[in-house]
């Protein structure tokens, strides 16, 4: 972790200097200056002391600098003072490059921030009545990258996918099949079952509801029946849901996202464990009985801003948030494990996918709950409800416990004007349009992937006319996935992602394929050279600006991974990987590696390129993007 070591050294040097100079101890920052011209690190310490002592910051900085110059230093070479009082530090390049390259050749960017901590990441959780659209994919990709980050930083991670098998959306397609005469099988056999249910049955049923509101009664009937596991409707629905799920999960595995267990909502409801936790909530005074007002007769939770949420209705039944609280408590191991489990199938990555079941299940199963931290990837529209759940859980576990329930919210994906128009949506004067599953206004995930695949296939074939079909398919698919995943992860979670099909089909610039291309380009150098130099102990020949800039950036890899993980900002990884590639390509265009005449310079460059490929591959793996030797 070269950059961190550097920061630490700077802090120590400053601290020691303050001590010897008799300056007061104050808080100060060690940060990256706006440009490498000023050095690799800089500090505002002189401003802070100047404020306190009412003295000139430049003078203070000069004193500290000359003091530090008299100390023995490890990675730091010199300290400079800049107006109006910055303290700028420069590394000993030779030493620092060696540290950095050795780090990258070993375990690039690794840092044990997890220490084996058990974390649940729940994502996807798409209603099992439709195919995934591009909005769902944002959830899948965010969740999956968070999983990968946590895993890499030594957390014990469990990935769950919550299946809402008893809600209105599932009920709607069951209404279609059971009451409105929709055929159980798609009219054409080549239509995916999830697409048939979502694009056709679900949309049409909702159209029928709005034309003839009396038909909505069917939904009520179905919802009621879904509460009874013995009912014919429940058994029928179970079968339909399973078929949809299998198709949905195919889409996810195409995108390299996998799960440990599927947790069915109905199995929480049937577990009848709610009463136990309800008693505890009442004992801890977390919920209260409303004797008057609009919620009279209900048990309610009052949130920190004083808003009330009904937990138990006046007729004694639990609202859906009650079930969410119970489920959250299960995740953190605060209630007994009320699920039974069985194996569902083996996923493409070889991992067994489990699911909860109403039957006895298998005794010998992994533990899926009992986490220290539960991260729930859910779009931002659920923010208020999720904050209530977090609040209740926080109070429930008490201050001394570290157990935590987190809602990782992200903004929705909407359609750009052009793309909305393309699928026949009325846009008016809006800049973008929200998708709606119910009204059929969305872009299907499989279709985008297919389009991307065709594009990448043509492009790859053009570049590799001799290549065989198998390889072409594999690479084209991988490029399509990388383009899609990257476009969904590169943006801050708090911003609406305006999806534009034309934009998404780009394979150049700030995209996943750019990373893959750069990787292949770099790897090609190593392959052409055919061997790795042994035992290079000094990197004194890496004197070019482009090498320096690349190496300094590379040295920050652990810091970036750590930051992305602890702040749950997966977009940081995409941004960093892109920046590294920009720097590498600049270097690549300007300097030769295998044609370099000076042998030791050539070997040092080979190692630089090799360590770059190691770093980039690590980042790509975190993003769920495959690195190919050739594309």
Distance, CA of 477 to chain centre: 21
CA–CA dist 584, 609 (Å, integer): 8
Q: Are 281 and 392 a contacting pair, CB within 8 Å?
A: yes
Pick between residue 84 and residue 366 the one whose CB is nearest to RNA.
Answer: 84
Closest approach, Cβ 282 to RNA, in A, equals 17
Which segments within 265-319 are labelled E, that is strand?
Answer: 288-289, 299-302, 308-312
Closest approach, Cβ 378 to RNA, in A, equals 11
Closest approach, Cβ 395 to RNA, in A, equals 19
Token representation of residue 611? 């360590």
Closest approach, Cβ 15 to RNA, in A, equals 17
Q: Are 624 and 257 a contacting pair, CB within 8 Å?
A: yes
Matching residue, tokens 């690590």: 618
Token representation of residue 501? 């099909």
Cβ neighbour number for residue 423 with a 10 Å cutoff: 15
Pick between residue 142 and residue 593 the one whose CB is nearest to RNA.
Answer: 593
Pick between residue 251 and residue 456 the one whose CB is nearest to RNA.
Answer: 456
Pick between residue 171 and residue 201 the one whose CB is nearest to RNA.
Answer: 171
Pick between residue 352 and residue 543 the one whose CB is nearest to RNA.
Answer: 543
Matching residue, tokens 């960093």: 576
Closest approach, Cβ 185 to RNA, in A, equals 26
Pick between residue 102 and residue 506 the one whose CB is nearest to RNA.
Answer: 506
Q: Are 260 and 368 a contacting pair, CB within 8 Å?
A: yes
DSSP 188-215: STTS-HHHIIIIIIIHHHHHHHHH-GGG
Per-residue 3-state assignment (H helix, E strand, C coil) for 580-610: HHHHHHHHHHHCCCCCCCCHHHHHHHHHHHH
Pick between residue 102 and residue 521 the one whose CB is nearest to RNA.
Answer: 521
Question: Residue ranges of the alpha helices (H) in 41-111?
Answer: 45-53, 57-69, 93-106
Matching residue, tokens 């007002």: 293
Among 203, 201, 205, smallest CA distance to 244 is for 201
Closest approach, Cβ 13 to RNA, in A, equals 16
Strands 156-163 and 118-122: parallel
Closest approach, Cβ 416 to RNA, in A, equals 7
Token representation of residue 365? 């199963």
Cβ neighbour number for residue 395 with a 10 Å cutoff: 14
Closest approach, Cβ 189 to RNA, in A, equals 31
Pick between residue 31 and residue 367 the one whose CB is nearest to RNA.
Answer: 31
Pick between residue 318 and residue 371 the one whose CB is nearest to RNA.
Answer: 318
Closest approach, Cβ 363 to RNA, in A, equals 31
């Amino acid at each position: 972790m070269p950059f961190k070591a550097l920061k630490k050294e700077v802090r120590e040097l400053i601290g020691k200097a303050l001590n010897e100079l008799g300056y007061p101890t104050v808080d100060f920052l060690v940060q990256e200056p706006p440009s490498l011209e000023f050095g690799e690190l800089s500090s505002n310490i002189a401003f802070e002391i100047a404020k306190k002592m009412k003295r000139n910051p430049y003078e203070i900085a000069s004193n500290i600098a000359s003091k530090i110059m008299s100390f023995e230093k490890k990675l730091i070479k010199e300290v400079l003072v800049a107006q109006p009082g910055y303290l700028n530090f420069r590394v000993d390049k030779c030493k620092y490059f060696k540290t950095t390259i050795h780090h990258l050749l070993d375990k690039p960017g690794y840092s044990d921030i997890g220490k084996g901590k058990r974390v649940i990441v729940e994502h996807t959780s798409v209603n099992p009545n439709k195919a995934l659209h591009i909005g769902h994919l944002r959830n899948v990709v965010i969740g999956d990258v968070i999983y990968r980050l946590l895993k890499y930083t030594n957390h014990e991670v469990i990935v769950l996918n919550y299946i809402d098998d008893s809600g209105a959306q599932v009920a709607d397609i069951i209404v279609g099949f059971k009451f409105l005469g929709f055929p159980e099988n798609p009219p054409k056999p080549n239509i995916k079952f999830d697409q048939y249910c979502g694009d056709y049955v679900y949309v049409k049923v909702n159209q029928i509801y709005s034309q003839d509101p009396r038909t909505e009664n069917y939904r009520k009937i179905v919802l009621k029946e879904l509460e009874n596991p013995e009912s014919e409707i429940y058994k029928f629905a179970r079968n339909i849901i399973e078929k949809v799920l299998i198709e949905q999960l195919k889409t996810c595995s195409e995108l390299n996202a996998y799960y440990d267990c599927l947790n069915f909502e109905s199995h929480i409801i049937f577990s009848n464990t709610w009463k136990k936790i309800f008693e505890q909530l009442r004992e801890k005074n977390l919920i209260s009985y409303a004797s008057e007002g609009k919620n009279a007769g209900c048990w309610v939770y009052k949130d920190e801003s004083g808003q009330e949420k009904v937990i138990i209705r006046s007729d004694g039944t639990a609202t859906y948030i009650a079930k969410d609280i119970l489920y959250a408590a299960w995740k953190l191991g605060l209630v007994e494990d009320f699920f039974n489990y069985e194996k569902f199938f083996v996923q493409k990555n070889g991992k067994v996918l489990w699911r909860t079941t109403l039957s006895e299940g298998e005794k010998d199963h992994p533990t899926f709950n009992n986490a220290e931290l539960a991260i729930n990837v859910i779009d931002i529209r659920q923010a208020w409800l999720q904050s209530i759940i977090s609040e209740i859980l926080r109070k429930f576990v008490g201050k001394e416990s570290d157990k935590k329930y987190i809602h990782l919210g992200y903004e929705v994906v909407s359609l750009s004007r052009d793309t909305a128009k393309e699928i026949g949506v009325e846009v008016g004067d809006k800049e973008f349009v929200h998708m709606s599953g119910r009204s059929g206004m969305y872009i299907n995930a499989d279709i985008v992937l297919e389009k991307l695949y065709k594009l990448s296939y043509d492009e790859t074939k053009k570049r590799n006319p001799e290549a065989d079909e198998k390889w072409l398919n594999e690479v084209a698919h991988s490029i399509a996935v990388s383009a899609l995943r990257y476009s969904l992860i590169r943006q801050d979670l708090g911003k609406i992602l305006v999806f534009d099909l034309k934009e998404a089909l780009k394979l150049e610039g700030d995209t996943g394929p750019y990373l893959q291309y750069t990787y292949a380009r770099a790897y090609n150098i190593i392959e052409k050279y055919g061997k790795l130099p042994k035992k290079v102990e000094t990197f004194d020949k890496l004197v070019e600006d482009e090498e320096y800039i690349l190496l300094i950036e590379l040295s920050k890899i652990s810091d970036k991974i750590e930051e992305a993980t602890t702040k749950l900002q997966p977009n940081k990884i995409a941004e960093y990987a892109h920046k590294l590639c920009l720097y590498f390509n600049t270097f690549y265009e300007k300097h030769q590696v295998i044609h370099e005449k000076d042998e030791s310079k050539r070997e040092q460059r080979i190692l630089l390129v090799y360590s770059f490929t190691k770093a980039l591959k690590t980042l790509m793996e975190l993003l769920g993007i495959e690195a190919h030797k050739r594309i």
